Amino acid sequence: MLKAELLGFGVDVNVVTINIHNGVKDQDKLVEECTYPLLQDTKEIDAWNVLNGTKDDFYFYDSQGTLAAYLAIDGDVSINMQTTAGYSNVRDLLMVIE
């Protein structure tokens, strides 16, 4: 839904999820729900630790691959996509990142 809305504004985004390394057993549930790629983290790569991230954090990269914004799920800005405010915050940020 968000991707289609952004495309309507002429904004094309790519979304991926990184599943925590110990979440392999729940991977199928995510794949069933997501319409975007799921990357599986491993203990060896440990992407969540490398990114200093936690569950449901958002990293926004621009078209050059540079980190444009990082919003933590427990931060000052709501990014809970199940709420109007969180959805609007994410959408509006994606609309200004080039």
Q: Find the mean pLDDT for residues 53-75.
A: 95
Q: Is residue 51 within 8 Å of 43, Cβ to Cβ?
A: no
For the chain, what is the total number of helices (H) and then of strands (E)?
4, 4
This prediction has a pTM of 0.86
Q: Find the mean pLDDT for residues 57-75.
A: 96
Within the chain, residue ranges assigned H as helices are 2-8, 27-33, 47-50, 84-96
Whether the pLDDT of residue 33 is over 90: the answer is no
Q: Report CA torsion sign: 75, 79, 80, 84.
A: positive
Whether the pLDDT of residue 36 is over 90: the answer is no
Integer Cα distance of 20 and 39 in angstroms: 9
